[in-house]
Amino acid sequence: MNILIADDEARYRVMMGHLFEKWPEHQLTLAEDGNEAWTLLDDPKRWFDVVFLDLNMPKSGGLDVLRRLRESPLHKSVEPVICTASNDRETIKQAIALGVRHYIVKPWTEAQIADKLRQIAAKRAA
Per residue of the chain (126 residues), give pLDDT as tens.
999 999 999 999 999 999 999 999 999 999 999 999 999 999 999 999 999 999 999 889 999 999 999 999 999 899 999 999 999 999 999 999 999 999 999 999 999 999 999 999 999 888
This prediction's pTM: 0.94
Distance of alpha carbon 126 from alpha carbon 93, whole angstroms: 27
The phi and psi torsions of 122 (rounded to 5 degrees) equal -65, -40
Q: Are 104 and 55 in contact (CB under 8 A)?
A: no
Q: Are 38 and 14 in contact (CB under 8 A)?
A: no
Beta strands in 16-101 (DSSP E): 27-31, 50-53, 79-84
